Amino acid sequence: MDFSRITGFDSPLFSTLQQILDSADKYASDATRTYVRDAKAMATTPADVKEYPNSYAFIIDMPGLKSGDIKVQVEDDNVLVISGERRRREEKERAKYVRMGKFMRKFVLPQNANTDKISAVCRDGVLTVTVEKLPPPPPEPKRPKTVEVKVVRD
């Protein structure tokens, strides 16, 4: 990434920063790159979470994406993972792309989330993932409490 070209600053500080970043890329392992990429993707994907009486809703803006670009999964029985990729589309005109790349969010679901009842709908560039809640356990029947009566003699 060329900071001086992007920011318009041509200073020794930015060129030194550029050299450091370039050298770090050469020595970074694939696992490190993957971790950094995933961390950036999670940090740049804003989401709203709403709790309703019978469900949870996860709402993420995803303008211009098709359903094939979005993946909704459950990992480890309680982690909702919403991921995807905004790919470069072939265009006849020369265009500069500003918003493209991978995105991902992970949410640890509460115990009462029913991971078998998850639906996802993308409408007008907004993805809504709905996770239904499990019904509350039936209350235990109240049993009469017996109090021992002590007889006191005078």
Q: Looking at the whole model, is its pTM more than 0.85?
A: no
* Residue spans of the chain under pLDDT 70: 1-15, 17-44, 87-101
Q: What does the pLDDT read at residue 66?
A: 77
Q: Give the DSSP H/E element, type plus range, for residue 108.
A: strand 101-108
Contact 26, 32 (CB under 8 A): no
pLDDT of res. 38: 52
Q: What is the pLDDT of residues 36-79, one digit of tens each?
A: 555 554 556 788 999 999 999 999 988 777 778 889 999 998 99
| Cα(72)–Cα(45) distance, integer angstroms | 14
pLDDT of res. 63: 75
pLDDT of residue 61: 84
Please give the single-letter amino acid code of residue 23. Answer: S
Q: What is the pLDDT of residue 27?
A: 58
The whole-number pLDDT of residue 140 equals 87
Burial classification of residue 3, based on how many CB atoms lie within 10 Å of its CB (0-12 exposed, 13-18 middle, 19 or more buried): middle
Task: Look at residue 103 in the predicted model and tell me its pLDDT.
Answer: 79
Quick one: pLDDT at residue 73?
93
